[in-house]
Amino acid sequence: MAKYKAGIIGLGFIGAADQVSGDALGQLVEDLDGTHLVSLENHPGVEVVAGSSRDEGRRERFAARTGARTYADWREMVEDEDLDIVSVATYTPAHEEVTVALAERGVRAIFCEKPVAPSVPDAERMLAAVAKAGALLVFNHQRRFTTSYRRIRDHIKAGGIGELTSVNAQWPSGRLGNVGTHVFDAIYMLTGRRAEAVSATLDLAGKPDCRGDEFADPGGWGLMRIEGGLMVTIDAADYNQTPWDTRINGSKGRVLSRGMDFSIEYWGGETTEWTNQDQQDSGMDVAVREIVTWLDDGTPVEPGPEEAVHVLESIIGFHASHGKNSAWVELPLQGADRAISVRMG
């Protein structure tokens, strides 16, 4: 019998593996590194008992698949159900209200989609509410939970490619908030360093956001200076054909990441391949497993939510720099830059 009861707020593509929703985005569920519903269902200690969506069709498909109770209003679900874990798979502008309400209601573990929130103050209120309640808040930067990324992180930390000299990252779909968040987080994870300043230009060519006209999540180009003076170049124009490619260069060689797999090229000529094929579970499966372990015995889940907020600051830093003709913007954000709000989908 499952020990913990879970609910999902947002029964779309990433929340409930809803392919009808995926079709609207032009994406396949099978291409994802997990979904909230599947990862919760995959854990024997978790039972998905409820889900909430404003969309009647999504509620019907979710109920048919799971047999769980459904609600049009997430507030009603939280009030009626005694939930241990809640996945928040709504659009970003709703994250703060939902997360704060869950913490105040006594939900012990919250598994929230990225990006964290539209603004840094929104994110800080989320963290404050969770800390006050003694709850756990985990953001779905799933590369943090994959075997290949953890192995490469440890290899770099041990000096496997020598002293780090630079980082270059590019990806095909722009969207600094929804896609860049993963790249920025992976860079900080793998190098073990945070960003100190950004200089950037946004791609404002006018391409529509796939989530609706009310959202704006452009790509762009920029430089980031991270701790130790390490420079990072970002090339992420909207809807370009550039392949996924992150390169971490060191004095002995470099790490190349193309998705979840890596190759290491040493300057002496040797090349090795590190793949994620030995990990049968998705990154989200591992995240749920670590959330359950925290519920069981309090074992910390790394990283803490503060790291995801730093990623958000980096994204907003791109917007702040663009508004200043690409001038360098220091992190953490200060003054008016902290008030910038970006309606990422």
Mean pLDDT by 10 residues, the chain (345 residues): 90 91 76 88 97 96 97 98 98 97 98 97 98 98 92 97 98 91 98 98 82 84 98 92 93 93 94 78 94 97 97 98 98 97 89
As beta bridge partners, residue 169 has 234, 246
| Inter-helix orientation angle 120-133/305-322, to 10° | 170
By the 8 A CB rule, do 176 and 316 touch? no
Asked if 235 and 221 count as a contact pair (C-beta separation under 8 A), the reply is yes
Return all residues near 164 (Cβ < 8 A) that are at least 6 apart: 156, 191, 228, 230, 248, 249, 250
pTM: 0.95
d(CA 340, CA 342): 7
Question: In 3D, which of 315, 345, 320 has the Cα closest to residue 334?
Answer: 320
Q: How many CA atoms lie within 13 A of 306 on its CB side?
A: 5
Token pair of 103 as six digits: 């913490």
The pLDDT assigned to 235 comes to: 96
- The rounded distance, in Å, linking the Cα atoms of 154 and 175 is 29
pLDDT of residue 277: 66
Domain-by-domain residue ranges, the chain? 4-141, 142-345
CATH fold of 4-141: Rossmann fold (3.40.50)
CATH class of 142-345: alpha beta
